Structure 1
Amino acid sequence: MRWQGRQGSGNVEDRRGRGGLAIGGGIGGVVLLILGLLFGGNPSELINVGSQSGGQVNDVESDQKAQFVSVVLQDTEDVWNKLFAEQLNQDYQEPTLVLFSGTDQSGCGTATSATGPFYCPLDQKVYIDLSFYDQLQSRFSAPGDFAMAYVVAHEVGHHVQQLLGITDQVRQNQRGMSKAQANELSVRLELQADFLAGVWAHHADAMKNILEGGDIEEALNAANAIGDDRLQMESQGYVVPDAFTHGTSKQRMYWFKKGYQTGDLNQGDTFKNAE
């Protein structure tokens, strides 16, 4: 993906490294804090110095990933501002992307690196621990920057659904349903977010020429890797459709590809389509 040298979004909230003295390296941080208090220095500055003395390569790599997702977020803002204005006659309310490490608090509860990226409709924020970037490659065998771009665009797709009232309608319809029926609606909501990620890719490339050879294949590979049937088979050796949360590999690939190929919001009714 062509992203370097381009502007990032101003709607990024960087919460990485929070946790007080742990930033300064445990006992070493405590020592620096005491020295700062004794000799009149700024403890936070001393702790920062202590933090920067090691792991510089990892810091640079992490900062590059943070800049990358910031650029992707800016691209989503440009696309959805345009589509909301021209096709929906609405103003697009841009979400905030929260970068965190380890654990954090969201409007929907505790965010952890184990849960993976997610969107919280209660505070309209996307939460991402950048370690997921590495998990895509190591755990899911889905390398490439556009694999991560697809993940970000999928979560922003949930924000679009929230703004359009789709999410609330689904939650309302789930009341009184059986667990299996309610779960199927949740899956269809996720598949629509995949479709919207594809719509974003279509228009972002038309607007900014962001795609390089192999980018769409990276996104499709990621969609395939994190399909429910594949994850269940790998973890337990069998598939339980009633326990799906996001859809099969085939479904996720189908809807992202359809969104990318058509770029047409009217083609994304996953609730009526049998695919």
Structure 2
Amino acid sequence: MKWEGNRESDNVEDRRGEGGGGGGGGFGFGGRSIGIGTIVIALVGSWIFGVNPLTMLNLLSGGGGQVSTQQSQRPAPQPPESDDMARFVKTVLADTEDVWGQQFKAQGASYARPKLVLFTGSVPTACGAGESATGPFYCPGDQKVYLDLDFFNLMQQRFKVTGEFAEAYVIAHEVGHHVQNLMGISEKVDNARRSQSERQANAMSVRLELQADCFAGVWAFHANTERKILEQGDVEAALKAATAIGDDALQRQAQGHVVPDSFTHGTSEQRVRWFSRGLESGQVAQCNTFEARQL
């Protein structure tokens, strides 16, 4: 992926090494934090506690109670210029800012740029105490993406996924949740889930996650059109990442069989299909998973 020399965002907060977010305890998140990394804690829970990972996923997708956590009022430090990985994150975030800024402007709207918080261990958020084991996530309560860079090592070690564009896909997916929040989609889904059965609520979560995948593809389309960021093998790496974190793939890995009614993020095939749809079309209108007859 070609990214060096492109604009870097000023909206990255470096909270690494601060810790202090563990007061919420356990795995619950208030305010329905949402993200690509919720699958990681499900695997951890299944290995350590013998708990069905899909039970963990259901809790992380909105089944838990509210957790209030006091957020730090200290000025957010910026990552050091010598930190190449942080520079990569800042560049990808800037690219999403440029793309979504243009998309919103074309519709006569203004794009509110999210903050991205780098952390290690734990971090206080408006959605409760965030943990590294959860992987990257977005909190609509404070409009921030939270990322422990060790997650990219997990992608390589556990899921055998490598490449900077695969990592950029993860960031773009979380920014996709921010776009959903700004568009009012997340709130509508949360409201609808409250009156539905667990199976129906899970199905709504799948559509929300697949749309975020599609939005990540929309970002990639426009970023490549404008800045030629893609190199040979990049798309394949991102598709491999989408495949690795499909609900069916994770279930087979963790328990040897799949339970479709418990899916909350979509199958490998679905995640690949919707990311590809956004990447090929570059059109937000093509990402309406909620009216799609077939996912």
TM-score tier after normalising by the smaller chain length: 0.7 to 0.9
Task: Find the counterpart in structure 1 of residue 54 from structure 2.
Answer: none
Task: Find the counterpart in structure 2 of residue 141 from structure 1.
Answer: 160
The one-letter code sitting in structure 2 at the alignment partner of 1:16 is R
The one-letter code sitting in structure 2 at the alignment partner of 1:114 is A
Q: How do 1:220-259 residues align onto structure 2 when only pairs under 5 Å count?
A: 220-259=239-278
The one-letter code sitting in structure 1 at the alignment partner of 2:92 is V
Q: Distance in 1 between matches of 2:162 and 2:242?
A: 12
Q: Distance in 2 between matches of 1:13 and 1:83?
A: 25
**Structure 1 residue runs without a partner (length 5+):** 21-58
Task: Find the counterpart in structure 2 of residue 6 from structure 1.
Answer: 6
Q: Distance in 1 between matches of 2:119 and 2:19?
A: 11
Structure in which a larger fraction of residues adopt helix: 1
Q: Distance in 2 between matches of 1:109 and 1:19?
A: 14
Task: Find the counterpart in structure 2 of residue 212 from structure 1.
Answer: 231
SS of 2:291's equivalent in the other structure is coil
SS of 1:271's equivalent in the other structure is helix
The one-letter code sitting in structure 2 at the alignment partner of 1:140 is F
> How many residues are treated as equivalent by the alignment?
235
Structure with greater contact order relative to length (CA < 8 Å, sep ≥ 6): 2
TM-superposed CA distance for 1:10, in Å, is: 0.4
TM-superposed CA distance for 1:105, in Å, is: 1.0
| Aligned: 1:79 with 2:83 | no
Task: Find the counterpart in structure 2 of residue 36 from structure 1.
Answer: none
Structure 1 moving runs of 4+ over 4 Å: none
What does the per-residue CA deviation read over 1:127-164, in whole Å, with 9 as the maximum and x for residues that have no partner? 00000011111111111111110000000000000000
What does the per-residue CA deviation read over 1:183-227, in whole Å, with 9 as the maximum and x for residues that have no partner? 100110000000000000000111111111111111101000111
Task: Find the counterpart in structure 2 of residue 187 from structure 1.
Answer: 206
TM-superposed CA distance for 1:63, in Å, is: 2.1
Task: Find the counterpart in structure 2 of residue 165 from structure 1.
Answer: 184
TM-superposed CA distance for 1:19, in Å, is: 4.7
Q: TM-score, normalised by structure 1?
A: 0.83
TM-superposed CA distance for 1:5, in Å, is: 2.3
The one-letter code sitting in structure 1 at the alignment partner of 2:18 is R
| Aligned: 1:95 with 2:90 | no
What does the per-residue CA deviation read over 1:70-111, in whole Å, with 9 as the maximum and x for residues that have no partner? 10000000000001001x210000000000011111111111
Task: Find the counterpart in structure 1 of residue 66 from structure 2.
Answer: none
Q: Distance in 2 between matches of 1:153 and 1:220?
A: 14
TM-superposed CA distance for 1:124, in Å, is: 0.3
Report the RMSD for the aligned CA atoms in angstroms. Answer: 1.5
| Aligned: 1:120 with 2:154 | no
Task: Find the counterpart in structure 2 of residue 51 from structure 1.
Answer: none
Task: Find the counterpart in structure 1 of residue 29 from structure 2.
Answer: none
The one-letter code sitting in structure 1 at the alignment partner of 2:267 is T
SS of 2:146's equivalent in the other structure is strand
Cα contact 2:114–2:144 (8 A) shared by 1: yes
| Aligned: 1:64 with 2:66 | no
Q: Distance in 1 between matches of 2:11 and 2:122?
A: 20
TM-superposed CA distance for 1:230, in Å, is: 0.3
Cα contact 2:19–2:121 (8 A) shared by 1: no
SS of 1:141's equivalent in the other structure is coil
Identity %: 57
Q: Distance in 2 between matches of 1:248 and 1:109?
A: 28
